[in-house]
């Protein structure tokens, strides 16, 4: 299979390219890092790149939480306009298979249960509560404590920041393309991806990159809130394998199918910082109590659907992955 990988020179994209080639596919890299003309928003460049292509693995995106709404136009341009240009060119070229780099951020907060009111959906956390160090979202009905659980693909979307909004819009665009063309679209909703080749020293990288960059400078990782926020840290090689499986497996025509793509082994951010610091041999993390508006408290995945329908399963455990990541090289921003 000849696969166009947009963002194929990036952190996740480069691992996708390597995995596809290992599995006998021809992976074609389309990335401004390698060629300034390879901009997914450039319709002519995209049309040229699609020549002879069987499928597209769309990894190109502006990632991270961003800076409030100050860079909203940039996010929309890269993520949504870029996706729209790509899909229009695919429709014209007759390419009917798409795997999209989705994200768990489309859910907002994860799944919560109240002892009295069952499953509930807390709203955005109030600034006054965050300033007071009350980080756990309360039950929206009675105000009591909640128990976090695993979120499934059928959970309602509730993006809490600009980046999350653009990732949800990408899915809507891909679904429209699939309906119009009869194509098959899969969105792999990545959880917190980490591993060798993560970009360093950039505000748009993930929390694992922040911590690893701090350790490389001889500094303590700075853990926001109280460090007890839960995430699903999934190794980049496992994410790359999920992309390959999604491209190879038959998918529903005329629709978009979303799959959570996580390790299935949730950990707190504080646990991750401590594991990384221990493996690196650097200073212990510092819990700062700081927060970022737009962050959610707990978001962890139920990835059983992807496992059941494709046979994919993550191969790299948390301790093994963090040990490797502590010693691995990182790339420039």
User: Among the options 163, 190, 280, 291, which is catalytic?
Assistant: 163
Q: Specify whether the CB–CB gap between 254 and 186 falls below 8 A.
A: no
Show the tokens assigned to 87: 């899909």
pLDDT given at position 331: 81
pLDDT in tens, 204-251: 568 899 999 999 999 999 999 999 999 999 999 999 999 999 999 977
Q: Does the active-site annotation cover 259? A: no
Three-state helix/strand/coil letters over 218-253 = CCCCEECCCCCCEECEEEHHHHHHHHHHHHHCCCCC
Task: Read off the pLDDT of each residue in 27-55 and give the average, rounded to a whole number.
Answer: 97
Residue 292: Cβ within 10 Å count: 11
What global pTM score does this model have?
0.94
Distances (CA, A) of 48 to 5, 86, 181, 247: 14, 11, 20, 21
Q: 142-146, 157-161, 218-222: lowest mean pLDDT where?
A: 157-161
**From the centroid of its chain, how far is CA 183?**
23
DSSP character for 105? Answer: G
pLDDT given at position 202: 65
Portion of the chain with pLDDT greater than 90, in percent: 89
pLDDT given at position 140: 95
CA angle 248, 250, 256 (to 5 degrees): 105
| Res 320 pLDDT > 90 | yes
pLDDT given at position 333: 58
Task: Read off the pLDDT of each residue in 82-86 and give the average, rounded to a whole number.
Answer: 98
Show the tokens assigned to 208: 């694992």
Q: Is 106 helix (H, G, I), strand (E, B) or coil?
A: helix
Q: Given strand 184-190, what is the order of strands in its sheet? A: 26-30, 2-6, 55-58, 97-103, 184-190, 255-261
Q: Which CATH superfamily does the domain covering 2-111+149-327 fall into?
A: NAD(P)-binding Rossmann-like Domain (3.40.50.720)
Task: Read off the pLDDT of each residue in 192-208 and give the average, rounded to a whole number.
Answer: 83
Q: How confident is the model at residue 301 (pLDDT cuts 50, 70, 90)?
A: confident
DSSP character for 11? Answer: H
pLDDT given at position 275: 97
pLDDT given at position 150: 95
| Res 73 pLDDT > 70 | yes
pLDDT given at position 204: 59
Q: How confident is the model at residue 203 (pLDDT cuts 50, 70, 90)?
A: low
Torsional sign, CA 302, 306, 309, 313: negative
Using only the alpha carbons of the chain, give its radius of gyration.
20
More confident residue, 268 or 64: 268
């Amino acid at each position: 299979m000849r696969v166009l990988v947009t963002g194929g020179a990036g952190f996740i994209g480069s691992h996708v390219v390597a995995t596809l080639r290992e599995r006998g596919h021809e992976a074609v890299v389309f990335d401004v890092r390698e060629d300034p003309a390879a901009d997914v928003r450039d319709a002519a460049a995209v049309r040229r790149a699609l020549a002879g292509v069987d499928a597209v693995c769309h990894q190109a995106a502006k990632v991270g939480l961003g800076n409030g709404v100050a860079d909203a136009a940039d996010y929309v341009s890269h993520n949504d306009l870029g996706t729209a240009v790509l899909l229009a060119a695919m429709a014209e070229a007759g390419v009917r298979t798409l795997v999209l780099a989705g994200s768990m951020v489309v859910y907002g907060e994860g799944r919560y249960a109240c002892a009295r009111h069952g499953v509930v959906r807390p709203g955005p956390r109030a600034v006054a509560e965050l300033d007071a160090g009350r980080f756990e979202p309360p039950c929206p009905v009675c105000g009591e404590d909640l128990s976090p659980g695993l979120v499934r693909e059928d959970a309602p979307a509730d993006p809490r920041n600009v980046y999350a909004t653009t990732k949800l819009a990408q899915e809507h665009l891909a679904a429209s393309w699939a309906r119009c063309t009869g194509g098959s679209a899969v969105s792999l909703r990545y959880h917190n991806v980490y591993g060798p080749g993560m970009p360093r020293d950039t505000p748009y990288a993930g929390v694992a990159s922040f911590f690893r960059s701090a350790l490389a400078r001889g500094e303590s990782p700075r853990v926001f809130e109280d460090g007890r926020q839960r995430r699903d840290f999934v190794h980049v090689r496992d994410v790359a394998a999920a992309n390959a499986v999604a491209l190879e497996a038959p998918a529903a025509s005329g629709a978009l199918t979303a799959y959570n793509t996580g390790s299935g082994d949730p950990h707190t951010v504080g646990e991750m910082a401590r594991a990384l610091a221990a493996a690196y041999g650097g200073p212990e993390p510092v819990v700062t109590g700081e927060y970022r508006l737009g962050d959610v408290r707990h978001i962890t995945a139920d990835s059983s659907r992807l496992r059941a329908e494709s046979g994919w399963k993550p191969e790299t455990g948390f301790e093994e992955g963090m040990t490797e990541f502590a010693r691995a090289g990182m790339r420039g921003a």
